[in-house]
Structure 1
Amino acid sequence: MSKKILVTYTSKYGSTSQYAQWIAEKLNADLFPARSVNPKDLSQYDIVIYGGGLYAGGIAGVKLVTQNPCKNLIVFTVGLADPSTTDYSPIINKNFTPQLLKNTKLFHLRGGIDYKKLGPVHKTMMAMMKNMIQKKPVNERDGEDKEFLDTYNSKVNFENKQSIDSLIAYVNGML
């Protein structure tokens, strides 16, 4: 018997939506934006995969799955930072209780940004981040800081379809 899978997401600028589409295609899963999912319907699925962008220490829309029971929960985050060098534990600990965290598998993916499409709040946040980095002594800036300054106020896209492979393999191991 095949398991019923839902991929749902909150995407402001498109990267999370793109990853959700790729994941749903690979898994032949139902795909819905989080805003159109009735929380009561989550229990109808054997596996729920939730994707949310990272913004100021939060995961966009994640309360849909942290405040409503899911049989098997997988969460993927999408942000600008390189997942291979980023410590996500402060964000994860802020958004998940220890008990929920024990029962949730997490994946981190890299998105993109187009400064021309940012809303005023996000533009202000990015400007504040730029100012914080510029105040650091040059010798204390890491690779992420340098990359941020080099790409500030431009359009960059780090989306990579192959980066979903470990998530797909994990789900296939559950089937």
Structure 2
Amino acid sequence: MNKKTVVIYKSKYGSTKRYAGWIALKLDADLYEVRDIRVRDLDDYDTIIYGGGLYIGKINGIKFLIDNYEKIKNKKIIVFAVGMESNNIDINKKTLDMNFDEDMINNINLFNFIGAFDYSKLNLIDKVLMKGLKSRISKKNITDMTDEDKIVLEGFDKLIDLCDKKSIHILVKNI
């Protein structure tokens, strides 16, 4: 039997869906939105890839994976989070710590991808959260702002789309 891979995602504004689609195409994997897959369907797969947007450090929809972890922990599990911060060791560690317990952290490979930001399309709660972030960033001296800080500030005035199909290669190589 061929090793089968599934990509499952939850996307609020579309960036995660784009990454999930790119990954599924590259790996010839099955693709499901999290609401369309059942736990028993996961028995058919050797590798499970889950993707969700990153909101205040939490991965959107990750509860599905956490709630079913005991049933899938012997499979290869990869998670990708889509936000406005670049992929680095500190961000990965913080995201892992905020979303998973120690056993899960030791069994899950995490990748961060940069998404898109369009303030005008956000729902009310996300607008309030982003205004808080904008306030914190705006208090920084311009020389202390990261590239990500500057990009977020730009996103209040125009669409910022940093989704990059090439960035999935690091995840694909991990399979």
Counterpart Cα distance in 2 of 1:74 and 1:88? 13
The answer to whether residue 32 in structure 2 is matched with residue 32 in structure 1 is yes
Matches within 5 A, 1:56-135: 56-68=56-68, 69-70=71-72, 71-84=75-88, 87-135=91-139
Tell me the matched-pair count.
171
Name the residue aligned to 2:159.
155
> Residues 34-75 of structure 1, C-alpha deviation per residue, up to 9 Å, x if partnerless?
011112322321110000100012000011112213211110
TM-score calculated relative to the size of structure 2:
0.90
Counterpart Cα distance in 2 of 1:128 and 1:115? 13
CA 1:47 to 1:131, structure 2 compared with 1: closer, same or farther past 3 Å?
same
Q: What percentage of residue pairs aligned between the two structures are identical?
A: 40
Computed over aligned residues only, the root mean square deviation of the Cα atoms, in angstroms, reads 1.7
Contact conserved, 2:151 with 2:160, CA < 8 A, in 1? no
Name the residue aligned to 2:22.
22
> Residues 76-108 of structure 1, C-alpha deviation per residue, up to 9 Å, x if partnerless?
111111224862322211111110111111111
What secondary structure sits across from 1:87 in the alignment?
Answer: helix
Q: Which runs of 4+ in 1 moved over 3 A?
A: 137-140
How far has the Cα of 1:147 moved from its partner? 2.8
TM-score calculated relative to the size of structure 1:
0.90
| Structure 1: unaligned runs, 5 residues or longer | none
Counterpart Cα distance in 2 of 1:107 and 1:9? 14
Counterpart Cα distance in 2 of 1:148 and 1:165? 25
Name the residue aligned to 2:148.
144
CA 1:32 to 1:136, structure 2 compared with 1: closer, same or farther past 3 Å?
same
Counterpart Cα distance in 2 of 1:85 and 1:49? 20
| Structure 2: unaligned runs, 5 residues or longer | none
